[in-house]
């Protein structure tokens, strides 16, 4: 048995530590996402000197489509990820479930640079029929980070 007095100190300490760890974890994810966005911003400036920051509205338009020219069956990101990015998606051809795109529903989204690049490398040709610009990638992440 833990003495009552000790328990009074122990419990709040453990609770505080748990909350602290949660905040630190979320902050780590936020920092990783910011670093990815910073990278795209630098790249966007290099691609177009007129670049003046990312836009969640443009990201939303990119997400919802519809687009022409894709080599896959999907004409919008929303075709698989659903128009509500907080919902679980479904691969149009295979039926496989896809974890939500919205950061509020899936905090691990856009925290692994290699993974993010892999998906853009594949899905931009699949949906748009071309590679995405750095500005488009940043717009897309900015939109979904706010969802």
Partner 1 sequence: MPFPHRIIAAGALVLAAAVPALANPFERVRPVTHEPTRKECGECHMAFQPGLLPAASWNRIMDNLNDHFGESAALAPDVAADIRAYLTGNAAVRGDGGLARITEQPWWVREHRLRPEAWTRPGVVSKVNCEACHRTAPQGLYEDD
- Sign of the four-CA dihedral 72, 78, 82, 85: positive
Decide: is 7 part of the binding site for partner 1 (CB under 8 A). Answer: no
Q: What CA–CA distance (Å, rounded) separates 91 from 110?
A: 19
Decide: is 58 part of the binding site for partner 1 (CB under 8 A). Answer: no
Please state the closest distance from residue 94 (CB atom) to partner 1, in A: 4
Show the binding pattern over residues 16-55: x = contacts partner 1 (CB under 8 A), - = does not. Answer: ----------------------------------------
Decide: is 95 part of the binding site for partner 1 (CB under 8 A). Answer: yes
Q: Residue 74 corresponds to which tokens in the numbers above?
A: 């999907």
Task: Pick between residue 5 and residue 114 the one whose CB is nearest to partner 1.
Answer: 114
Decide: is 96 part of the binding site for partner 1 (CB under 8 A). Answer: yes
**Residue of 30, 39, 107, 125 that binds partner 1 (CB under 8 A):** 125
Q: What CA–CA distance (Å, rounded) separates 115 from 49?
A: 27
Q: What CA–CA distance (Å, rounded) separates 96 from 60?
A: 24
Contacts of 94 (CB under 8 A, 6+ apart): none
Q: 69: which DSSP letter?
A: -
Task: Pick between residue 58 and residue 91 the one whose CB is nearest to partner 1.
Answer: 91
Cα–Cα nearest to 146, from 86, 111, 83, 102? 102
Decide: is 114 part of the binding site for partner 1 (CB under 8 A). Answer: yes
Residues that bind partner 1 (CB under 8 A): 71-73, 90-96, 114, 118, 121-123, 125-126
């Amino acid at each position: 048995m833990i003495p009552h007095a000790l328990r009074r100190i122990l419990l709040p300490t453990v609770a505080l530590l748990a909350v602290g760890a949660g905040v630190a974890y979320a902050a780590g994810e936020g920092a990783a996402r910011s670093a990815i966005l910073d990278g795209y911003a630098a790249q966007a400036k290099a691609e177009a000197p007129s670049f003046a920051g990312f836009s969640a509205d443009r990201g939303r338009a990119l997400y919802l489509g519809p687009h022409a020219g894709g080599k896959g069956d999907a004409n919008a990101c929303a075709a698989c990820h659903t128009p509500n990015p907080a919902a679980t998606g479904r691969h149009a051809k295979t039926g496989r479930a896809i974890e939500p795109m919205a950061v509020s529903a899936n905090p691990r989204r856009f925290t692994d640079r290699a993974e993010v690049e892999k998906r853009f490398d594949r899905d931009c040709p699949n949906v748009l029929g071309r590679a995405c610009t750095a500005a488009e990638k940043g717009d897309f992440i900015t939109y979904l980070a706010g969802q």
